[in-house]
Amino acid sequence: MRIVFMGTPEYAVPSLRALMASRHKLVGVVTQPDRPKGRKSAPEPPPVKVRALEGGVPPDAILQPENPNDGPTAAALRVMEPDVFCVIAYGCILGREVLSVPKICALNAHGSLLPRYRGAAPIPAAILAGDTETGVTLIRMVRRMDAGPVLLARSLPIAPTDTAGTLSEKIAELSAALFVEGLDLVESGRARFAEQDESLATYAPKLSKESGRLDFSRSAGELERAVRAFHPWPVAWADLQLTYSRGVERIRIHAAQIVDADSIVPAGRTEGCDVIPGSILKCDSSSGIIVGCGDGSALRLLKVQLPGRHVMGDTVAARGLR
């Protein structure tokens, strides 16, 4: 079958690679435009474009429209005569005209077990919720976000140490396998689509930098999951009140660990005292940085980043914050 692939970030590259290696014919790639990046703000191509060119896709078969729903883009896609679109992390919502281009259907690989976690951030949402498994759902695209009928779904476990970054890598590889399996079903005429149960739908909205703010009135368990869910982006953060001479510092928290608050005796206080959420219980070169949380729990900030500094272990950082 003739395939047009749509995707942009590194997360989409395994799927592109799998389709290029399959027996199906890749006739076009649609990705985001080159964007300024780095201090020099020089335009850089998205990872999907780089991999497509490395794989021998002709430059004129790679489309990078600002708006994929404009007339010229739909016309260019029709010239390619695709049977199926394969879409993953493209970054734009496709309109009716574009979705009508493929002769058979448009398939999307979504990083959750739909209808749970529709939306832009399903992987962080699963970690935040404390789920023990997630997966990939291959759906036929419709005009409603992630609401199309399901062709295939596969689950995978969420490890206690998984971050959004490590889990994304696993889901990206699983998505690639599902695309190839789904295309084979469609080509053979054995594809069967099942409607989603709307009553079970939940949503995972797009993250912002503000999403990473830690609220220490929540339990240490919730905050530890938040640190993993927000890594590598937007990265969890908190404002730390230091001495009067230094004021407030915003620190980024790259890794954290739940600790037993009952075993922590804050300097100048007695054993068994109440834990105040957001208070620094310990900050020294032996214990590291330990913060009080809701429900009397405590969180050790294992890897932190001070403004203008590199990521460092908490015992190293504690020497500078003490």
Question: Residue 164 is part of a domain; what is its CATH number?
Answer: 3.40.50.170
Q: Mean pLDDT throughout 101-110?
A: 98
Percentage, residues of the chain above pLDDT 90? 81
263 and 193 both lie in a single domain:
no
Q: Mean pLDDT throughout 238-249?
A: 73
pLDDT at 285: 85
d(CA 15, CA 84): 14
Q: Mean pLDDT throughout 144-154?
A: 97
13 and 153 both lie in a single domain:
yes
Q: Is the pLDDT of residue 298 over 90?
A: yes
54 and 166 both lie in a single domain:
yes
Phi-psi region of 224 (alpha: psi -120 to 50; beta: other; left: phi over 0): alpha
> What percent helix, strand, coil does the chain show, rounded to 5?
30, 25, 40
313: phi then psi, degrees, rounded to nearest 5: -65, 155
Q: Mean pLDDT throughout 212-233?
A: 97
282 and 138 both lie in a single domain:
no
Q: Is the pLDDT of residue 321 over 80?
A: no
Beta carbons within 8 Å of 310's beta carbon, 6+ residues apart: none
Q: Is the pLDDT of residue 270 over 80?
A: no
Beta carbons within 8 Å of 135's beta carbon, 6+ residues apart: 112, 113, 153, 154, 155, 156, 171, 174
190 and 217 both lie in a single domain:
no
Residue-by-residue DSSP string for 48-61: HHHHHHHTT--GGG
Q: Please state, rounded to an integer, the average pLDDT across all residues of the chain.
A: 93
Q: Which of 182, 200, 218 is the last residue of a domain?
A: 200
223 and 129 both lie in a single domain:
no
Q: Is the pLDDT of residue 189 over 80?
A: yes
Q: Is the pLDDT of residue 132 over 90?
A: yes
Q: Which of 166, 181, 200 is the last residue of a domain?
A: 200
66 three-state secondary structure = coil
- Number of domains composing the chain: 2
pLDDT at 187: 97
pLDDT at 310: 93
Give residue 109's domain range: 2-200
pLDDT at 269: 53
Q: 273: pLDDT confidence band, cut at 50, 70 and 90?
A: low
Least confident of 91-95, 227-231, 304-308: 304-308
Q: Mean pLDDT throughout 249-263?
A: 91
Give yes or no for a contact between 289 and 321, defined as CB atoms under 8 angstroms apart: yes
145: phi then psi, degrees, rounded to nearest 5: -60, 120
Q: Which of 173, 200, 227 is the last residue of a domain?
A: 200
Buried b (16+ CB within 10 A) or exposed e, 247-283: eeeebbbbbbebbebeebebeeeeeeeebebbbbbbb
- Enumerate the β-bridge partners of residue 100: none
175 and 66 both lie in a single domain:
yes
pLDDT at 248: 81
Q: Is the pLDDT of residue 192 over 60?
A: yes
Virtual torsion, Cα 84, 88, 93, 97, nearest 10 deg: -10
144 and 246 both lie in a single domain:
no
Q: Mean pLDDT throughout 254-280?
A: 76
d(CA 159, CA 154): 16
- Enumerate the β-bridge partners of residue 133: 157
Question: Residue 256 is part of a domain; what is its CATH number?
Answer: 3.10.25.10
- Enumerate the β-bridge partners of residue 194: 150
Q: 313: pLDDT confidence band, cut at 50, 70 and 90?
A: very high
For the stretch 44-67, pLDDT in tens is 999 999 999 999 999 999 999 999
pLDDT at 266: 57
CB atoms within 10 A of CB 7: 30
118 and 256 both lie in a single domain:
no
Q: 38: pLDDT confidence band, cut at 50, 70 and 90?
A: confident
72 and 192 both lie in a single domain:
yes
pLDDT at 241: 77
Closest CA to 129 of 175, 162, 165: 162
For the stretch 61-104, pLDDT in tens is 999 999 999 989 999 999 999 999 999 999 999 999 999 999 99
CB atoms within 10 A of CB 217: 12
87: phi then psi, degrees, rounded to nearest 5: -120, 130
56 and 34 both lie in a single domain:
yes
Instruction: Say which residue, 286 or 17, is predicted with more confidence.
Output: 17
16 and 114 both lie in a single domain:
yes
